[in-house]
Amino acid sequence: MTDSTEATETFAPPPEFAAAANVKEDAYERGAADFEGFWAEQSRDLVDWNEDFTEVLDWSNPPFAKWFADGKLNVAYNCLDRHVLAGNGDRVAINFEGEPGDSRSLTYAELLAEVSKAANMLTELGVEAGDRVAIYLPMIPEAVISMLACARLGAAHSVVFGGFSADALRSRIIDAEARVVITADGSYRRGKETSLKPAVDEALSHGDTPVESVLVVRRTGQDVDMTEGRDQWWHDTVDNASPEHEAEFFDAENPLFILYTSGTTGKPKGILHTSGGYLTQVLYTMKAVFDAKPETDVFWCTADVGWVTGHSYVAYGPLAAGMTQVIYEGTPDTPDQGRWWEIVEKNKVTTLYAAPTAIRTFMKWGEDIPAKYDLTSLRLLGSVGEPINPEAWRWYHRVIGGGRCPIVDTWWQTETGSHMIAPLPGVLATKPGSAQRPIPGISVDVVDETGEHPAGPEGGLLVIRQPWPSMLRGIWKDPERFKETYWSRFEDTYFAGDGARRDEDGDIWFLGRVDDVMNVSGHRLSTAEIESALVAHPSVAEAAVVGAADDTSGQAVIAFVIVVDGVENSPEVAEELRQHVGKEIGPIAKPKRVHIVSELPKTRSGKIMRRLLKDVAENRAVGDSTTLADSSVMELIEASVAKS
Ligand code: WT7
């Protein structure tokens, strides 16, 4: 997505912001001179270690890194106890805004008590260090409480986004071998009750999961089936548990969580993150990129805890930094399109972190909506999930930030655990559309296809040169796939899967994924995963899926399918297939359009040329199709798309 306006205009940080910034220019030099020493210093400064580490980085068996390996810590202690012990127990940790208008505040002391109760209850259910717990919850405080309770016990959580289907939940539970599931009866979305518990029942109904217990939070009060001996209400159990819990300390490399994300094949990858290095870089980016000022800031990251953004910048980052944060349950248009701005005004939010797709939606709704609210508490804005087009950047800066707030465009991935490329807001003049530079201590490059030369001005592939503290430690139970996906393309170098280019100032611009991964509203979806859901439908013989440019969501899922004999090409069938994908994977994966076609473009070796389908989906002249086995196929496809 490009626009014609001058893209090189920059915005220097306001002088007061620059003067008070936590991190100054010298950090770049220190991070580059000795990256291990730099991260050791950040870690000792920002993390409370129960036992200090003697070794910083163990890279003796690449690509399997260990950071701070002989240190011991408890991540939940770092998020809670230490703030209470420092006398900040009365500071608000979470201001929760429910969609129907209810709200709830939890101080650090109260949150510590809630997490302790949950940890005691999980212990009663048999959860121990090294176990896995699946969390399938809406955006309510219990989501964060559950994650921290697992961390407190040294058990890894696997949060499954509440918008994912029963099947997606089931396969993730099985892969992670979770013993316990924490869920809720339901949630509020767009003014309606949605349900979650039935999906858990369905996921467990085959009897092929290792789940022994299900804890159910009551959020909406709707009727749910409770299975005797397996299911218990949170309010009957956790609420009555002891609010005292002594944290044990675990190795720095103890698993903290597994989070499933889409790759280029149909099977989601369980990305594994561990404790000490992860917490170090999450805290450093809170300090350096979000310029966290825990005494005065009110932080609001609008992401769901089902995504990595909600792990690093809802559950862990703001709490480990001792900040007050806002959590909102629902959608931006309930009860009206001013909801986010009402929340900013009411809570005096200082730091807002959102996705470009949301910004573009607000642009469409019009600037008179935010204009009705007092947004002067804001001092810093963040963007994440996909490239932000300069036009949306400028709107965000002017309309939401009142022209006074720096914007940090943060590039990172589920795999990187925390920010990797983003401007330091008190140091760099920001540039609409560019994520600019790696943060201090991180080393990236943009290379050509061979990996041997820097890419030219037209761009190339983004790679990461050195290990970093919050890097993934692997793919759960699949070390070969870990090596193959990220470390096989170039030697000893991490291949991110993103295209990028550097401008004449050396600033980095992202160009989108170079693999078969799509980015819809900042959510990662794989073409292969949706294709396999489609071909699982009895009416479908073959399917190909592409991500086509979309003004609001960045990309939209467009499917091309060949139906089996006897099934007709009708809008009803196309609609049924859309719904089917929604049911198999989740509503976010539902194709925007399903085109029923008679052929798919294939090379002589049978590989589908998605590039050509993308041309059709984006209404462009079809590109070079000379390698097709049958070059007349594209005309047939274009004709049937024109009809549908
Ligand atoms: C992919 C990672 C990072 C948390 C949310 C998404 C794209 C992410 C940016 C950005 C350009 C971005 C990349 C990346 N992406 N942030 N600021 N500018 N592209 O995490 O689901 O793991 O997706 O999102 O393509 O590889 P994820």
What is the per-residue DSSP string for 141-183?
HHHHHHHHHHHHHTPEEEE--TTS-HHHHHHHHHHHT-SEEEE
What integer pLDDT is reported at residue 5 of this predicted model? 42
Tell me what the mean pLDDT of segment 56-83 comes to.
Answer: 98
What integer pLDDT is reported at residue 297 of this predicted model? 98
Give the three-state DSSP class for 105.
strand
Tokens of 611: 């590039």
In percent, the amount of the chain with pLDDT more than 70 equals 99
Cα–ligand 1 centroid distance for 386 (angstroms) = 5
Show Cβ contacts of residue 206 under 8 Å, excluding neighbours closer than 6 positions.
Answer: 170
Q: pLDDT (tens digit, 9 = 90+) per residue, 432-450?
A: 999 999 999 999 999 999 9
Residue 84 has pLDDT above 70, yes or no: yes
Q: Tell me what percent of the chain is helix, strand and coil, each rounded to the nearest 5.
A: 30, 25, 45
Tokens of 568: 């007709």
Q: Which residue has the least CA distance to atom 27 on ligand 1?
A: 413
Q: pLDDT (tens digit, 9 = 90+) per residue, 279-320?
A: 999 999 999 999 999 999 999 999 999 999 999 999 999 999
* 510, 511, 517: residue to mutate for ligand 1 pocket, most atoms within 8 A of CB: 510
Beta bridge partners of 520: 523, 554
What integer pLDDT is reported at residue 226 of this predicted model? 98
Residue 220 has pLDDT above 60, yes or no: yes
Through-space distance between the first and last CA atoms of the chain, rounded to whole angstroms:
26
CB 379 within 8 Å of CB 17: yes
Give the three-state DSSP class for 354.
strand
Mark the binding-site residues, compressed into ranges: 189-192, 309, 385-387, 409-414, 498, 513, 521, 524, 535, 537, 540
Distance in angstroms (rounded) separating the CA atoms of residues 113 and 254: 24
What integer pLDDT is reported at residue 644 of this predicted model? 73
Distance in angstroms (rounded) separating the CA atoms of residues 437 and 442: 9
Distance in angstroms (rounded) separating the CA atoms of residues 135 and 173: 10
What integer pLDDT is reported at residue 507 of this predicted model? 97
Cα–ligand 1 centroid distance for 240 (angstroms) = 41
What integer pLDDT is reported at residue 4 of this predicted model? 39
**Residue 280 dihedral angles phi and psi, to the nearest 5°:** -60, -50
What Cα–Cα distance (Å) separates residue 76 from each residue in 115, 134, 139, 225, 234?
Answer: 9, 18, 19, 32, 20
- ipTM here: 0.99
What Cα–Cα distance (Å) separates residue 615 from each residue in 234, 541, 551, 558, 635?
Answer: 51, 23, 16, 11, 12
Tell me what the mean pLDDT of segment 417-426 comes to.
Answer: 98
Give the three-state DSSP class for 563.
strand
Q: Which atom of ligand 1 is nearest to the CA of 517?
A: 25
Tokens of 275: 């404790």
What integer pLDDT is reported at residue 528 of this predicted model? 85
CB 13 within 8 Å of CB 24: no
309 close to ligand 1 (CB < 6 Angstrom):
yes
Q: pLDDT (tens digit, 9 = 90+) per residue, 468-521?
A: 999 999 999 999 999 999 999 999 999 999 999 999 999 999 998 888 889 999
Cα–ligand 1 centroid distance for 389 (angstroms) = 14
Residue 532 has pLDDT above 90, yes or no: no
Amino acid at 217: V
Tell me what the mean pLDDT of segment 148-158 comes to.
Answer: 98
Q: pLDDT (tens digit, 9 = 90+) per residue, 130-146?
A: 999 999 999 999 999 99
Mark the binding-site residues for Mg(2+), compressed into ranges: 535, 537, 540
386 close to ligand 1 (CB < 6 Angstrom):
yes
Q: Which residue has the least CA distance to atom 12 on ligand 1?
A: 386
Name the least confident of 353-367, 515-529, 571-585. 515-529
What integer pLDDT is reported at residue 222 of this predicted model? 98
Distance in angstroms (rounded) separating the CA atoms of residues 509 and 499: 9
Name the least confident of 51-55, 99-103, 351-355, 521-525. 521-525
Distance in angstroms (rounded) separating the CA atoms of residues 396 and 389: 11
Query: CA geometry: angle at 295 spanning 290 and 299, to 5°?
Result: 40
Q: Which atom of ligand 1 is nearest to the CA of 522?
A: 6
What integer pLDDT is reported at residue 632 of this predicted model? 86
Question: How many other CB atoms are there within 10 angstroms of residue 223's CB atom?
Answer: 8
What integer pLDDT is reported at residue 247 of this predicted model? 97
Q: pLDDT (tens digit, 9 = 90+) per residue, 87-117?
A: 999 999 999 999 999 999 999 999 999 999 9
Q: Which atom of ligand 1 is nearest to the CA of 512?
A: 25
Residue 124 has pLDDT above 80, yes or no: yes
Task: Report CA 465 to chain centroid distance, whole Å.
Answer: 23
**Residue 183 dihedral angles phi and psi, to the nearest 5°:** -140, -170
Q: How many residues does the chain have?
A: 644
Q: Which residue has the least CA distance to atom 6 on ligand 1?
A: 385
Q: Which atom of ligand 1 is nearest to the CA of 523?
A: 21
Distance in angstroms (rounded) separating the CA atoms of residues 638 and 350: 50
Q: Which of 476, 413, 438, 473 is nearest to 276 (CA)?
A: 473
What integer pLDDT is reported at residue 557 of this predicted model? 97
Amino acid at 597: V
CB 385 within 8 Å of CB 522: yes
Distance in angstroms (rounded) separating the CA atoms of residues 124 and 504: 60
Residue 63 has pLDDT above 90, yes or no: yes
Residue 335 has pLDDT above 50, yes or no: yes
Residue 3 has pLDDT above 50, yes or no: no
What integer pLDDT is reported at residue 530 of this predicted model? 94
What integer pLDDT is reported at residue 339 of this predicted model? 98
Residue 232 has pLDDT above 70, yes or no: yes
- Residue bearing tokens 């509020």: 188
Alpha-carbon dihedral angle through residues 41, 42, 47, 53, given to the nearest 10 degrees: -40
Task: Report CA 416 to chain centroid distance, whole Å.
Answer: 11
* 164, 262, 353, 498: residue to mutate for ligand 1 pocket, most atoms within 8 A of CB: 498
Q: Which residue has the least CA distance to atom 16 on ligand 1?
A: 385
Name the least confident of 28-42, 290-304, 393-407, 519-533. 519-533
CB 529 within 8 Å of CB 589: yes
**Residue 204 dihedral angles phi and psi, to the nearest 5°:** -95, -5
Tell me what the mean pLDDT of segment 268-287 comes to.
Answer: 98
Distance in angstroms (rounded) separating the CA atoms of residues 278 and 486: 19
Residue 265 has pLDDT above 80, yes or no: no
Beta strand 64-67 with 57-61 is antiparallel
Q: pLDDT (tens digit, 9 = 90+) per residue, 615-630?
A: 999 999 888 887 787 8
Beta bridge partners of 82: none
Q: Which of 405, 513, 460 is nearest to 16 (CA)?
A: 405
Tokens of 564: 């089996």
What integer pLDDT is reported at residue 518 of this predicted model? 92
What integer pLDDT is reported at residue 242 of this predicted model? 98
Mark the binding-site residues for CoA, compressed into ranges: 189-192, 309, 521
410 close to ligand 1 (CB < 6 Angstrom):
yes
Average confidence score pLDDT of the chain? 95
Residue 119 has pLDDT above 90, yes or no: yes
Query: CA geometry: angle at 199 spanning 163 and 235, to 5°?
Result: 95
Helices 166-176 & 197-204, crossing angle to 10 degrees?
A: 60
What integer pLDDT is reported at residue 6 of this predicted model? 44
What Cα–Cα distance (Å) separates residue 69 from each residue in 156, 259, 270, 302, 449?
Answer: 18, 22, 22, 33, 35
What integer pLDDT is reported at residue 192 of this predicted model? 96
How big is the chain by its Cα radius of gyration, in Å? 24
Q: Which atom of ligand 1 is nearest to the CA of 303?
A: 5
What integer pLDDT is reported at residue 2 of this predicted model? 42
Task: Report CA 345 to chain centroid distance, whole Å.
Answer: 26
Q: Which residue has the least CA distance to atom 17 on ligand 1?
A: 411
Q: Which residue has the least CA distance to atom 7 on ligand 1?
A: 386
* 259, 316, 386: residue to mutate for ligand 1 pocket, most atoms within 8 A of CB: 386
